[in-house]
Structure formats: C-alpha cells, structure tokens
Chains A and B, each alone.
Chain A
C-alpha cells in the first residue's frame, strides 16, 4: 500500500490546497478514496493525489527558505524612507 498526499481545489481559480493523506494500492483507488474522504459536502472542482515518495521537501532552515537578509533590496522602501527604518531593515 502507498500513502498519497491529497490536494483539493474548491472553486475554479483557487489554489490546490493540501488536505491530508489516504492509503491506497494505486492512483485510481487513491483518487476515489480521497473524493469519498475529503469531498463530502463542499464544492470541489479539482482533486490531485501525489505519491508521498514523490514529494521533495526542502531541508533548509526558515531563514534560508524565506530569502531573508541578504536580499533586502527586493523590498524597496521607496524614496524618502526614514533612516531608522532603513537601518532596521538591515
């Protein structure tokens, strides 16, 4: 049996949201189980199942993941920003 991560899109244009896992022997069964389990009353326009083994997870710490201090120029504070604000940014 394989563990499948389940993603649901509630309305067209919404992002797919991770809602949980199901265990199933193959993708088709997983899709059916995910529908029965996670889409019981609410609207739904899209459903993905992804083999958990295929998910790659970044192992960097949050400050690296978030592209922090070394790229502050990406958040320009604009002309005339007070010096103490500029200093605080670094």
Chain B
C-alpha cells in the first residue's frame, strides 16, 4: 500500500500487521519509535537494580526486584516486536544497546543517589508513562498495541508501589519528608520534559501522528498529567516546586515553567555520564551471565 492509502486506513481505525505490504516510511517511523521505547525499558531498570541492596526495608527491596524484572520484560516484549518488524536479530539489538549511541528517555540520564529518587520515579514517572502508554494501546501497529497491554498493566502496579513508598516517606518524620520534597525539586522539571517539546517544536511528532503510531500530542499528554498529578502531589502533603504553575479556568490550560529543551535534546543526542554507566552495567552483566547463554544454546 502507498503512504496515502495507509494514512486513510489508520485514520479509519485499522491496525496494521507485519505481514502486510507496509510502506518503507511507515516501517522506519515505527522502528524508530519502538526502538527508543525498548531501549528505555531495558536501561531504566539498571537504576532500580542498583537500589535493591540499598532499599531501606525488605518489602522495598522486593518491590524493586519485581519492578526491575517487569521493566526488563517490557524491553523484551518490545524487542520481539522490533525483531519481527525489522528482521534484525536479538543479538544485534543487544550489541547496539551496549555500545551504540544512547537513545533512551531523558529521566534515565540523571543520577538516582538518594532513596527519594527511585521512589519519586516509581510514583511520578511511571505515573507519567501510564499517561502516554495508555494511548499506545490504540497505536496503528498491531503487535506494538498488543505488547502494550502487558506493559500498561504493570506500570499501574509500579505507580501504586511508588505511591505506597512515597506515603511511607512523607509519614516517617520531618527528615524523610524533607528528602522527598528536595527530590521533587530535582525531578519536577525532568518530569515535565519527559513528555517532549510541544509537537510544533518536535521533528518527528507530526509524522508519527499522521501514521497513527502516536495518538496524542506531547503537550496534550503533559496537560492531562498535570490535571491528574498536581492534586495527587498536594494530597501527599508535598509542594509542587514550580512558581509558574497555574490552571486557567477559562482556557482549561495549565501554565508551568518551560523545561530546558536544550538540556533535553542534549541528553537524547549525546547522552550523559550516567547513561554511559548504565550501558557499562549492561555490558558487564552480559559478560557475567554469558556462561548461561552459551550453555542454553548448546
């Protein structure tokens, strides 16, 4: 099918399958989007895995062990979808993830040094991911939409675990509560940035929308996130660290401090020291576990 026919068919709600005759532009857009998503799901849990031994209770350790397994599973699920679309081998994807230029979400490029960091990420960033990923259940590429079912469901668990741990922190006394508030100051601009720049300023957004791969504009997702999460943060007894935050009742639009888009693009393009550490940890983990891979293959 040509690209115009494809746009008409997805606009009518049709989902596309890998065995259909798909135009090259569509394949390359889907590939780009899913590979970015897949890599983010694989590198993210390295942060969580680092926190398992340091988490302050057995329960918290178990939560993070399970969460990091879930996230690697999301990466695996998306990898099978990418493999089927592109015909590339899993080994080549894994190699690229170890050594290639870092292409994953901004939030994983920052250090998670304090306990508040993984807690805030589970609560507010998994929460933000639910916002975006729920729309992807209707993405035009069928195998991607089906893989999202498991992912969206599990992100829901992560959000609840994060909220539970955040609740523990803010009720554990003045000092842990202050750590959470300080954490929120660090993470707030990164959370707003993770939805990406408004689509008018984003290079690929329009193409992805016209192919039905992406269902909602970045700014719309950010607005809907603010509507849900600003009250949740206040309910938790924390302050939203943004002097420009406000909701205009007439236009029904949130205003907020514009994130630093240069920093955002820099991280996505050039990576960061933390991103390099994540890649290194994955490489080392592969070396350590290689005996199992070769044993299985034999």
Contact = CB atoms under 8 A, between A and B. Distances in A.
Interface of A: 1, 3, 19-25, 29, 36-38, 40-41
B217 interface: no
Given A38-B150, A41-B157, A20 B297 contact: no
A23 B80 contact: yes
Nearest to B73: A37
A40 B296 contact: no
A23 B146 CA distance: 18
B154 interface: yes
A21 B157 CA distance: 22
Contact of A23 (B73, B90, B147, B154): B90
Interface string B123-148: 00000000000000000000000110
A23 B82 CA distance: 13
Contact of A25 (B69, B80, B150, B297): B297
A20 B147 contact: yes
Interface residues of B, number: 15
B77 A40 contact: no
Instruction: Please name the 8 residue pairs, one residue from A and one from B, whose CB atoms are nearest each other, closest first.
Output: A21-B80, A25-B296, A37-B73, A25-B297, A20-B77, A23-B90, A29-B296, A20-B80
B70 interface: yes
Given A20-B146, A20-B147, A25-B296, A40 B76 contact: no
Given A20-B77, A25-B297, 18 more contacts: A1-B90, A1-B297, A3-B80, A19-B150, A20-B80, A20-B146, A20-B147, A20-B150, A22-B76, A24-B296, A25-B296, A29-B296, A36-B73, A37-B73, A37-B76, A38-B150, A40-B154, A41-B157
Interface in B134-186: 146-147, 150, 154, 157
Interface of B: 66, 69-70, 73, 76-77, 80, 90, 146-147, 150, 154, 157, 296-297
A37 B146 CA distance: 15
Contact of B73 (A21, A25, A40): A40
